[in-house]
Amino acid sequence: MIVHNRTAKRWLWLILSCVVLVAAIALSLAIGARDVSLGTVADALIHPDPTNNDHRAILDLRVPRTVIGLLVGSALALAGTLMQGLTRNPLADPGLLGINAGASLCVLIAMSVFGITRPQGFIWFALAGAAIAAVIVYFVGSLGGTGTTPLKLALAGAALTAGLTSLITLILLTNSHAFDSFRFWSVGSLTGRDLNTALTLLPFLAVGAVLALITGRMLNVLSLGDDLARGLGQNVTVTRSIIAIAIVLLCGSATALAGPIVFVGLVIPHIVRPLSGPDHRWLLAYAIPLGAALLLIADVIGRIISRPGEIEAGLVVAFLGAPVMIALIQRKRLAAV
């Protein structure tokens, strides 16, 4: 009976998470430099009128950024949950293993060397950079007699991030043209991208999401420790490889779409864990709607507080995420006393 009650509560919280996401989507479509009613939003989606300015704003501007917010927020939340499970580090996020830094460096190379400034052009550079960074971290983390361990992965990722960040700074200081293009992309934004860009990356995001969801049970076993996981018949190396591929696909695609947005992958697992418990299958399921909702709400707040302009979603997420993480850490300290 207790198990059934726990499962029912998890399903209830998952449904409520989806309700929050639907509300965030509605706000994203209705709120902007000029607010429109939800009735107008529905009319634009069902019976679009090309001569209606509100319909054009919704379909041409708000729908693409809402779709991109959905994809990016979900991908970053899934990636952050995978990273925290893989490294057993509660502060792990898509920047920890050097993936964001690798993607950012390759995007900067695309801008400074090849003159590519549109997302459709540099998405492949971002994916390649994320993959190369992941391979380097995994290779360095596997050196030594003990093989790959969560601590070695985290240290290798931190070292690679520091090195690549220094290289990015060096390039920016010596190339003013690249700096002008890169600074807008690097703050994290849902604007300036169209649906074609999202559709181009959708297969990568879909494969990454599927891999993430099927690794939930593997992460549960892996969280017991490598030795016990091997004793239960799990191939730890294969499991980590599958998770790493999912992280690269999710982080690389999300970073290519919206820039290196921080805190979504860090905060969401901590928000979700009290609702879902330690079971990674539920953690990953909750991460999808709540990660998307967080990024969309941050984007809406950025439009409201700076009218008629707007503040980029990446900056708002960082502003909101910092105090949330401080509160979570403080709560854990109080619980430990």
Could you tell me the domains of the chain? 2-336 (1.10.3470.10)
Span 159-187, pLDDT tens digits: 898 899 999 988 888 877 777 778 777 77
Span 259-289, pLDDT tens digits: 888 889 888 998 888 888 888 999 999 999 9
Span 182-241, pLDDT tens digits: 877 777 788 877 888 888 889 999 999 999 999 999 998 888 877 888 887 888 888 888
Q: Which residues of 101-133 are buried (b: 16+ CB within 10 A; e: fewer)?
A: bbbbbbbbbbbbeeebbebeebbbbbbbbbbbb
pTM for the model stands at 0.90
Mean pLDDT, the chain, integer: 85
Q: Which residues of 9-26 are buried (b: 16+ CB within 10 A; e: fewer)?
A: ebeebbeebeebbeebbb
Q: What is the pLDDT of residue 181?
A: 73
- 152 compared with 295, residue with greater pLDDT: 295
